């Protein structure tokens, strides 16, 4: 009997667990470890953060789902991975709970990120200056502070709202874009938009870069860049963009930053939501005789090293699509896999930049949402292969992977909107697509309108259906 352990139950880990339980759960042992007893549909936290969706609609109980899929579940925090002895140490939730040991033959690490607010002095909810929509508790705090700002506007006070990224190496610019456009729409709905100055503050070299080197599409008969597309939205919404800025510290009512040339500046605010840098979760990796083997498993940021080619100069990486991992397997411990944000990319997709003062302006590659789900499925299918056949038969590099993003720009199904963005491949491949973008010009597309708002809400409902393992779940793509 094979024992498979999955650490993390976000998009990547939960998807992997469902495939593993469905195929192996009756004859083998599948165990999921997750700090929360709930799955969280993180994309919809953007609506929680403006009081347009109850947080309960973004959650469901994991135990109930896993009971029906022959998957064991431990709600608790994984603290140690004993890579040679092949077990994980877990601290179960609950005061005074005794640590337990979970043995494995195969381990999938899909922890999601550590939200590294500490990398930027003064950033984040703990510092009490800026807020976040990266988790349900954070989204609820953001909602509370946002509604306080709304209340001040309703009383006639002008407010400065700043939304974006809080570190030069942050990712998830898409979440910040969704949040700021939804804030705009919400303030219009409440009748106080004229009382607010909205600023988008980002480490992207230009609008619409998203950490994927931007994109160009044919839109209404002419070629349009994401920068032009998003810029037009911001002009229409009266949102001031400040891009190419790495936040260096945050104080009450003042965000300090440096730009790509090394010039320092600050942006004043009354309410701010800034996405932090993502790092790997702080697991301890133990080898033989208690040795620390973290350097064999993780990169310096704590992300899991897999079958990519690391250390290439950016120009070489950009020209070599095969440098990106295909099976997400650690080369030193081949029974350890990583999925979603937990895996270490071989480098940035967008060209990195360090300003003269050493402040990075390098958006990290996005590995969330659809990308996480696809990788979770690939990893699960390969573990199933190894258990049943002794060899892997599935692979998919991010240079072969399509991703769809529907960025909400107002949730109303009557006058809302959303930007529908299709990218193929996520990481440009200039060998296969020898154009300036390295992407399939027929598939890659951007569109905005009311239909997108309907699609965004439909995707929330459809994916919650899939992830709860309701009828037809496997035919719904990741």
pLDDT tens sequence across 395-434: 999 999 998 877 777 666 676 677 778 899 999 999 999 9
**In this structure, are residues 195 and 271 in contact, taking their beta carbons and an 8 Å threshold?**
no
**In this structure, are residues 229 and 219 in contact, taking their beta carbons and an 8 Å threshold?**
yes
C-alpha 331/C-alpha 304 separation (Å) is 10
Distance of CA 362 to the CA centre of its chain: 16
Q: Which of 163, 203, 200 has the alpha carbon at shortest distance from 354?
A: 203
pLDDT tens sequence across 330-361: 999 999 999 999 999 999 999 999 999 999 98
Task: Please enumerate, as own/partner, the contacts of 319-323 that have beta carbons within 8 Å and a separation of 24 or more.
Answer: 319/430, 319/431, 321/397, 321/399, 321/400, 321/427, 321/429, 321/431, 321/432, 322/397, 322/399, 323/347
In the chain, domain spans: 3-114+281-388
Chain mean pLDDT for the chain: 94
Is a pLDDT exceeding 90 seen at residue 328? yes
Looking at residue 205, what is its pLDDT? 94
3-114+281-388: CATH number:
3.50.50.100
DSSP codes, 340-357: GGGBPPSS-SSPP-B-TT
pLDDT tens sequence across 256-286: 999 999 999 999 999 999 999 999 999 999 9
pLDDT tens sequence across 56-106: 999 999 999 999 999 999 999 999 999 999 999 999 998 888 999 999 999
Question: What pLDDT band is residue 115 in, cutting at 50, 70 and 90?
Answer: very high
Looking at residue 224, what is its pLDDT? 87
pLDDT tens sequence across 17-46: 999 999 998 999 999 999 999 999 999 999
pTM reported for the whole predicted model: 0.95
Contacts of 95 (CB under 8 A, 6+ apart): none
Looking at residue 411, what is its pLDDT? 64
DSSP codes, 138-154: HHHHHHHHHHHHHHHHH
């Amino acid at each position: 009997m094979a024992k498979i352990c999955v650490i993390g139950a976000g998009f990547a880990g939960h998807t992997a667990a469902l495939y593993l339980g469905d195929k192996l759960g009756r004859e083998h042992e599948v165990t999921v470890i997750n700090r929360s007893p709930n799955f969280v549909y993180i994309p919809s936290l953007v609506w929680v953060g403006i009081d347009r969706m109850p947080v309960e609609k973004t959650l469901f109980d994991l135990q109930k789902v896993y009971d029906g899929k022959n998957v064991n579940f431990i709600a608790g925090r994984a603290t140690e991975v004993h890579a040679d002895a092949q077990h994980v140490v877990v601290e179960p939730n609950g005061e005074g709970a005794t640590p337990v040991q979970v043995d494995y033959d195969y381990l999938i690490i899909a922890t999601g990120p550590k939200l590294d607010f500490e990398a930027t002095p003064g950033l984040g909810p703990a510092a009490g200056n800026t807020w976040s929509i990266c988790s349900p508790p954070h989204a609820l705090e953001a909602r509370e502070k946002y509604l306080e700002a709304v209340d001040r506007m309703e009383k006639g006070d002008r407010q400065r709202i700043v939304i974006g990224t809080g570190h030069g190496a942050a990712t998830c610019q898409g979440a910040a874009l969704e949040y700021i456009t939804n804030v705009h729409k919400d303030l219009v709905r409440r009748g106080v938009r004229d009382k607010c100055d909205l600023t988008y503050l980002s480490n992207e070299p230009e609008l619409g870069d998203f950490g994927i080197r931007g994109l160009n599409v044919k839109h209404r008969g002419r070629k349009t860049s994401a920068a032009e597309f998003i810029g037009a939205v911001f002009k229409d919404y009266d949102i001031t963009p400040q891009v190419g800025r790495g936040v260096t510290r945050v104080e009450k009512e003042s965000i300090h930053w440096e730009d790509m040339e090394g010039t320092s500046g600050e942006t004043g605010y009354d309410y701010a939501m800034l996405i932090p840098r993502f790092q790997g979760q702080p697991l301890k990796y133990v080898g033989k005789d208690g040795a620390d083997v973290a350097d064999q498993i993780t990169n310096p940021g704590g992300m899991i090293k897999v079958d990519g080619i690391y250390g290439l100069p950016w120009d070489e990486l950009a020209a070599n699509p095969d440098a990106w991992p295909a099976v997400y397997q650690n080369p030193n411990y081949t029974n350890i896999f990583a999925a979603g944000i937990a895996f270490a990319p071989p480098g940035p997709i967008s060209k990195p930049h360090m300003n003269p003062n050493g402040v990075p302006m390098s958006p990290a590659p996005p590995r969330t949402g659809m990308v996480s789900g696809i990788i979770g499925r690939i990893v699960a299918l390969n573990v199933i292969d190894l258990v049943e056949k002794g060899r892997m038969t599935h692979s998919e590099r991010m240079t072969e992977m399509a991703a769809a993003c529907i960025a909400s720009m107002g949730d109303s199904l009557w006058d809302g909107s959303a930007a529908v963005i299709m990218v193929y491949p996520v990481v440009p491949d200039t060998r296969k697509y020898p154009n300036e973008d390295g992407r399939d010009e027929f598939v890659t597309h951007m569109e905005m309108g009311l239909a997108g708002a309907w699609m965004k809400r439909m995707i929330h409902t459809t994916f919650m259906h899939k992830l709860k393992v309701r009828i037809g779940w496997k035919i719904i793509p990741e």
